[in-house]
Structure 1
Amino acid sequence: MTSRGRHRRRKKGRVLRGALSGTALALTAAATIISTSQAAGSDNPGPLTSITSSSEVNKLQLHENLVNETTLDTLQSGMGGNVGVDTVLDSANHPMRNKADCDATESAALPVEPAATRAYCWDDGDAKTQKWLPQSVTTSGDADNDGKWGDDRVILAGWTHNDDKAGEPADDKGLARVAVIDANDPDNLTYRWVLLVAPVSGGQDFEAVRSRLGGMVWYQDKLIVTAKNGADHDSALYVFDMNRILQADVDSPEVGKVDGGWSARGYQYVMPAIGSYSLTGGACDASNDNGVPCFGSISLDRTSTPDSLVANEWFSSGGTEPARVWRYDFSTASDRAGLLGSDARDNVNADDAYETKAVGLQGVLSHKPSGASEADWYTGYDPGSRDRHGTLWRQSEGTAKAAKCGSGVAYACWGRHTESLSYWQETGELWTLTESAANPERVLYAVPLSAVAASVE
């Protein structure tokens, strides 16, 4: 099913502590190159090991919790109706710098090989702030087969508040925002921030979503993001509707309904959550891979049947704990556009679950080449140290190989502090972004997946 007819450009208008239940909605909620012997993450992790035990697969099960439509409609009506993605793009007020205009430290964060064919650096304030951390990326190439949302090419980048920064206001803890980037002109990218919120009081108010945004997938008209690792509640994923972007009309430090209208802590646009996916096994366990997993990142696989959401868990790059990677099928029902496939009890079961010995995973991508019998799983390793490049592994049940730095034996060639992965099928590009603000080193970049495959070979 295509969603193009539902998201043509318009000039005007158009939640969650643990599980959501009915209308009750709350939220608590060139560089240095190192050899394979110099970092644990560069040691060959070997092939993927399939997880077949039903008791182990059941630990990955989700339960779908959707917000009542009346609640969403009440909030929408109270805030003056929906605003289209195109309106957000038309009001973009932050320019991105092209690769040639990036600072030396920013360019040094790019991969050694394969080289980035497109790279962009953030507006000065976002490039250097310690208050926010870039974590994830998805694009209109995920949203639709033609690579566009209506007439627009769009990139979404998820940023999370840096809760480790000393002296930050308590109200800012866990805040999540999305940069909506106008990518129509590859030489002139601009963006606008949208704050993620959750409706409360039956849609009479909203509050801030507290989410890490380690991964994002924009599929059809839905945006699915990782929650706050599920460590303090059961939610693993939050769901948003790209057709439900609302506009605040009061500029104040508050979030929600205020005297005179609606405020979003200085942001002009908000996107309210329409649901969540909670872990049926309860709160996740980030200490080992024997319990309920904490979601590290997610991405979209359009080469599976049906299309699927791919996930990984994260453990420290300094450890040895093997991580799990797995997928959930998207629903093919016409009335469930962009939602995961669920059973009669609203449970979502995992498929194709594996264990990988690649540690410190910051992103995962599954892609089945034409004519291949199984998918390749790309896993990005971050060494966790400054001035160190990561490693991009390609794994399957039969082998594990890494992108190499030229003809030598060095494999730490990927970007520095690279986060989630996203494949733009229409252009053949693998998109990602780097996190660190040191020096600064934040870059949004693309590499042809064919170049990655060639480097691995």
Structure 2
Amino acid sequence: MIVLTDQPLLDNSLRMNVDAVKRLGFIVAMLLLAAGTPAAAAPNQITERDGSAFSLTPDWSLDTQAAGLASTLGSRLPVSDVLAAANRSTNDCSTSRKQAQPEFYDRTDIPLQANQILHSSDRFCWDDSDSKVSYWVPQGVTGSSDADDDGQWGPNKVMAVSWHYDTGKAGTQTDHGARLSLVDRVSGKYRHVLLVEPTSSSNFRAVPIHAGGLAWLGRYLYVADTSRGLRVFDMERVLEVATDQDDVIGKSGSKYYAYGYRYVVPQVATYRQAITPPSPCVPQPNALCYSSLALDRSTTPDTLVVGEYRDGRSTDLSIDGGRVVHYDVDASTRKLAVSSGKAVPSRAVTTPKSNVQGAQTWQGEYYLGRSSADKHSFMFAGSADMNTYSWAVGGEDLYYEHGSGLLWTATEHAFNAADTLIDKRIVFAVPLAGIAPR
């Protein structure tokens, strides 16, 4: 196979002139076109692609089981009740945690110009027990700006952040699944709730997923399930359980437990892709890794935006960098729009950037937050070619708060790869207007 690259074709022994190089490039491109083989995209270019392979099959059968569980427990609480019972407080962030923000970009190996340095305008941090815990790790972020047009959910302005459970760090084989932090953005109080999957026996179990992306659409919380697709939870069906045992999940005796958490949010649906990639998820030409989620309210209709994490680059152009896929949202139900029983992507692109943990689109522009371990990383922005900006240490999912014009992320790292405390967990926002796409 002949591959076009952006490297010069000049060789000291051949001394080919520039015109000859151009003619050779044109001939090779024509040969590739005639053979039906796609030529490589420009190294910094977003390219359109066919997304039909990423169609999802909806299954709402868990809705009935969630209703039965709510009836059995005799509780069905609004989010406002959970916030009224919030038992933790955010704080103003230590110096260490603030250093994870993009304005403190300090990499000398990849220098950036002053106009490439982004500056945060809002932030909060977790209490110390959550900032420094190793086995619960922040991932997805969304809020009431996604959930409702007025930017609030009931009387509250809310932000929600998902955390996944690391069994290795916890020193156990028992996976406690994924939890959700519901944060009152006015009072700064928050409470963790556990995401659970109802079973047919009026019981429930933990949901052992990475929960790398969140989007809150009306009553439904969409959560990325990396290899499977999407899981949907009902934010109008929060259930209260007993808390006197912290090592039990589901029914035990006459009570229900959730590893010590007072509240659970039940799953009501799954959107499954046809082909399941290997675990841990490795992108395939016809299967996606559902790594991040965002809601784009600037489109008509609204679209759910799925971003894919790709560890490094690939010579396979169909998966190089990662894919970003859009699904239309039904305006009345806040479910994904379905055609012939499938949620079919309305748009799909391949991005030129790897290690993207968060993808948000707005008014036709793409915003891609790249992840990192213990160094600052990069925000890429554009509709075709992409500009590069400073970004967080350990930035994850993206959430555009349309009422404030702020782009939010949560950072994940409390420790580095050597298990040394670096204390870099923070939730912060930058003005979207300060990121100038090309």
What TM-score bracket applies, with the shorter chain setting the length?
0.7 to 0.9
Higher relative CO (CA 8 A, sep ≥ 6), structure 1 or 2?
1
Identify the residue that residue 337 of structure 2 maps to in structure 1. Answer: 341
| Higher Rg | 2
**Residues 1:402 and 2:388 aligned together:** yes
Work out whether residues 250 and 263 of structure 1, in 8 Å CA contact, stay in contact via their aligned partners in 2.
Answer: yes
- Identity across the alignment (%): 31
Work out whether residues 153 and 182 of structure 1, in 8 Å CA contact, stay in contact via their aligned partners in 2.
Answer: yes
Work out whether residues 76 and 236 of structure 2, in 8 Å CA contact, stay in contact via their aligned partners in 1.
Answer: yes
Taking structure 2 as the reference length, what is the TM-score of the superposition? Answer: 0.81
**Residues 1:121 and 2:116 aligned together:** no
Give the 5 Å matches for 1:38-437: 45-52=43-50, 57-67=51-61, 69-98=63-92, 102-112=93-103, 113-165=117-169, 168-172=171-175, 175-183=177-185, 185=186, 188-202=187-201, 204-227=202-225, 229-230=226-227, 235-252=228-245, 253-283=247-277, 286-317=281-312, 321-332=320-331, 334=332, 337-345=333-341, 347-368=342-363, 375-382=364-371, 384-386=372-374, 388-397=375-384, 399-403=385-389, 413-437=390-414
Name the SS for the 2:102 alignment partner. Answer: coil
Which amino acid in 1 is paired with 2:360? L
CA distance in structure 1 between the partners assigned to 2:192 and 2:289 by the alignment: 27
Deviation at 1:58, TM superposition (A): 2.5
CA 1:213–1:132: 2 relative to 1, 3 Å: same
CA distance in structure 2 between the partners assigned to 1:84 and 1:189 by the alignment: 18
Deviation at 1:367, TM superposition (A): 0.4
CA 1:164–1:331: 2 relative to 1, 3 Å: same
Work out whether residues 434 and 443 of structure 1, in 8 Å CA contact, stay in contact via their aligned partners in 2.
Answer: yes
Identify the residue that residue 112 of structure 2 maps to in structure 1. Answer: none
Work out whether residues 251 and 267 of structure 1, in 8 Å CA contact, stay in contact via their aligned partners in 2.
Answer: no
Number of residues of Structure 1 aligned to a counterpart in Structure 2: 372
Identify the residue that residue 425 of structure 2 maps to in structure 1. Answer: 442
Deviation at 1:45, TM superposition (A): 4.7
Deviation at 1:344, TM superposition (A): 3.5
Which amino acid in 1 is paired with 2:353? A
Unmatched 5+ residue regions in structure 1? 1-43, 369-374, 404-412
CA distance in structure 2 between the partners assigned to 1:327 and 1:391 by the alignment: 23
CA distance in structure 1 between the partners assigned to 2:277 and 2:392 by the alignment: 32
Work out whether residues 236 and 279 of structure 1, in 8 Å CA contact, stay in contact via their aligned partners in 2.
Answer: yes
Deviations 1:326-361 (A, max 9, x none): 1000113x3xx221011242x110121111111110
Work out whether residues 144 and 216 of structure 2, in 8 Å CA contact, stay in contact via their aligned partners in 1.
Answer: yes
CA distance in structure 2 between the partners assigned to 1:155 and 1:163 by the alignment: 26
Which amino acid in 2 is paired with 1:392? M
CA distance in structure 2 between the partners assigned to 1:139 and 1:86 by the alignment: 14
CA distance in structure 2 between the partners assigned to 1:287 and 1:278 by the alignment: 16
Work out whether residues 399 and 407 of structure 2, in 8 Å CA contact, stay in contact via their aligned partners in 1.
Answer: yes
Which amino acid in 2 is paired with 1:79? L
Work out whether residues 137 and 420 of structure 1, in 8 Å CA contact, stay in contact via their aligned partners in 2.
Answer: yes
CA distance in structure 2 between the partners assigned to 1:356 and 1:423 by the alignment: 20
Deviation at 1:213, TM superposition (A): 0.9
Work out whether residues 195 and 270 of structure 1, in 8 Å CA contact, stay in contact via their aligned partners in 2.
Answer: yes
CA distance in structure 2 between the partners assigned to 1:69 and 1:120 by the alignment: 34
Identify the residue that residue 3 of structure 2 maps to in structure 1. Answer: none
Work out whether residues 329 and 337 of structure 2, in 8 Å CA contact, stay in contact via their aligned partners in 1.
Answer: yes
CA distance in structure 2 between the partners assigned to 1:349 and 1:131 by the alignment: 36
Name the SS for the 1:88 alignment partner. Answer: helix
Unmatched 5+ residue regions in structure 2? 1-41, 104-116, 416-421
